[in-house]
Structure 1
Amino acid sequence: MDKIALISGAFFGLTAVIFGAFGAHLLKKKLNTEQLQSFETGVKYQMYHAIVLLVLGFQLNHQTTLDNYIIYLFIIGSILFSFSIYGLVISSANNKKLKFLGPITPLGGLCFVLGWGLLIYKFI
């Protein structure tokens, strides 16, 4: 499980840098201020959780079910939250908004909240 956390963290970190540059340079001309802020929120949350996954990959005892749930929640949360925002923003900028992605974003946020909550529980 530590390899999954480390590889996912590194992948999310890599793609957050790429998407951040993509947003700052290429999308800046296509997006309005609100869309750009939403895109940047997706990048920030992806990077935050990339760093958390790297730390957890080195620190947690990956033999417990609780630790595995924490890692999976952060991975799933990153995918659902950040990537749905990217899809919503880019599709909206192209006047073809993928509305089905709207309800997915809060599910990703819920995964983040649950992951953080389980981490607090583990520490207590």
Structure 2
Amino acid sequence: MPTSHAISRVDEQTPLIAPPTSQETGPSSGASMSSALFWKVGALSGALAVGLGAFGAHGLKKRIADPAKLANWGTAAHYQLIHSVAILLAHNHPVPATLFAAGTALFSGSIYALTLDTERFRFLGPVTPLGGLLLIGGWVALAFAKGGPPPRWPRF
């Protein structure tokens, strides 16, 4: 099989995603420690979001009866999951990835804490909108990130 990405014949042995060439890997390709770190942060944040969402849907109902608080927990888990994917998408772009990671921690984290104990974590109330602004900033930064979407993604 030729080493280029052009595949002239498709059969059961043809990979769905072409493996990277030596020019696309290694330190000179833009792959960096921060890119790998953001990838791990995004993936672990996604796993945590699923776990916290499940806890909110099942275990938290035993501790909290207020439907508004339960809905807030669901919102926090929902935003965390969406922005975990955003971190994965932006892992090669440090500014938007940092904004997404920080915004997720502040936005979702403050909502989780306020849901569990509003009085104890009241000081986190102003942190929630700050986290939201960071999330918005992450999307704006991603829109203007150098290089745009990864080369194998469709461009619209």
TM-score relative to the length of structure 1: 0.84
Cα shift at 1:68: 1.3
Q: Does 1:47 align with 2:81?
A: yes
Q: Does 1:84 align with 2:110?
A: yes
Aligned residues: 112
**For residue 126 of structure 2, what is the amino acid of its counterpart?**
P
Map 1:9-28; keep pairs closer than 5 Å. 9-28=42-61
Query: Does structure 1 conserve the Cα–Cα contact (< 8 Å) formed by 2:90 and 2:142?
Result: no
Question: 3-state DSSP class of the match of 2:59?
Answer: helix
Return 5+ residue gaps in structure 2 as ranges: 1-33, 149-156
Report which of the two structures shows the higher radius of gyration computed on alpha carbons. 2
* CA deviation profile, 1:22-41 (whole Å, cap 9, x unmatched): 11111123321100110000
Map 1:66-85; keep pairs closer than 5 Å. 67-85=93-111
Is 21-30 or 82-91 further displaced after alignment?
A: 21-30
CA distance in 1, matches of 2:78, 2:37: 21
**For residue 107 of structure 1, what is the amino acid of its counterpart?**
L
Identity %: 38
Provide the aligned C-alpha RMSD in A: 1.3
TM-score relative to the length of structure 2: 0.68
Cα shift at 1:18: 1.1
CA distance in 1, matches of 2:42, 2:103: 12
